[in-house]
């Protein structure tokens, strides 16, 4: 049995994994899909002080309080930053890092370094009435629907769980200065259908930080593959567990 810890991306909540959790559990694994501070049922905690460090603390605290070991730590989108810094703090508890259509940072980088288009979001948030709120993206051409989700019922369900992203999440740097984190194997899963204009993905180096060949898989779907292709995603996740 493996322990899968599924970390949602910006604007979403742990609810987005609802179709994947039972599939992993049915295969005999323990699965946790928490909601990060400021989203979903914790939206009342959102504010200008919530940032990347807050979300890293959420995950590290969950891992330590539940005494999780041999964790397959999965980060979707923005959560690539979260799982990186979390693994840096507790590398001995992490068996595998999975970057699911995610930002893949180096030490000291922010979201803007990984995906420069997020700078415009920061500037708009700082200039807005709130000074910190980044509303959910409602569509990026040529990507249809919402985060690549096109079925009307699924779009409505997804929209019901979305909330604003605190700007500090995109401003705080990732910490990857613990040499032990480099030994953790990595897998990259890319969603390759209908990639929005302006969104560029970094090339994955031929070798992982631990010196082994990089492992990159693709799903022919949009960004929110846990909603559009839960069975196919689960099949890939089971290969690393």
The chain-wide mean pLDDT, for the chain, equals: 94
State the residue range of the domain holding 56: 3-240
Residue 143, pLDDT > 70, answer no
How many domains does the chain fold into? 1
Residue 17 gets which letter from DSSP?
Answer: G
**pLDDT of 65-80, one tens digit each?**
999 999 999 999 999 9
Q: What is the pLDDT of residue 139?
A: 53
**pLDDT of 147-187, one tens digit each?**
999 999 999 999 999 999 999 999 999 999 999 999 999 99
Q: What is the pLDDT of residue 210?
A: 95
- Contact of 226 with 21, CB cutoff 8 Å: no
44: closest CA among 35, 34, 56? 35
Residues with a known catalytic role:
77
What CATH number has the domain bearing residue 92?
Answer: 3.40.50.1820
Collapsed DSSP state (helix, strand, coil) of residue 189: strand
Strands of the 186-191 sheet, one edge to the other: 30-32, 3-7, 71-76, 94-100, 186-191, 216-219
**pLDDT of 65-121, one tens digit each?**
999 999 999 999 999 999 999 999 999 999 999 999 999 999 999 999 999 989 999
pLDDT band, residue 141 (cuts 50/70/90): very low
């Amino acid at each position: 049995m493996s322990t899968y810890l599924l970390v949602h991306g910006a604007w979403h909540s742990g609810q987005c994994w609802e179709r994947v959790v039972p599939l992993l559990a049915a295969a005999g694994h323990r699965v946790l899909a928490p909601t990060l501070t400021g989203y979903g049922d914790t939206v009342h905690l959102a504010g200008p002080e919530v940032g990347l460090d807050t979300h890293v603390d959420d995950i590290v605290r969950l891992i330590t309080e539940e005494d999780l070991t041999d964790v397959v730590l999965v980060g979707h989108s923005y959560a690539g930053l979260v799982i990186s810094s979390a693994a840096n703090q507790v590398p001995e508890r992490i068996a595998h890092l999975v970057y699911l259509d995610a930002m893949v940072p180096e030490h000291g980088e922010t979201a803007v370094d990984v995906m420069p288009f997020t700078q415009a979001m920061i500037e708009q948030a700082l200039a807005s009435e709130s000074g910190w709120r980044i509303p959910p993206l409602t569509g990026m051409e040529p990507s249809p629907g919402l985060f690549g989700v096109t079925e009307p019922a699924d779009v409505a369900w997804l929209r019901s769980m979305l909330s604003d992203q605190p700007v500090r999440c995109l401003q705080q740097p990732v910490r990857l200065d613990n040499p032990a984190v480099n030994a953790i194997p990595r897998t990259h899963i890319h969603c390759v259908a209908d990639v929005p204009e302006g969104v560029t993905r970094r090339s994955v180096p031929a070798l992982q930080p631990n010196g082994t060949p990089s492992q990159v898989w693709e799903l022919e779907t949009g960004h929110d593959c846990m909603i559009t292709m839960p069975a196919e995603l689960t099949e890939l996740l089971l290969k690393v567990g």
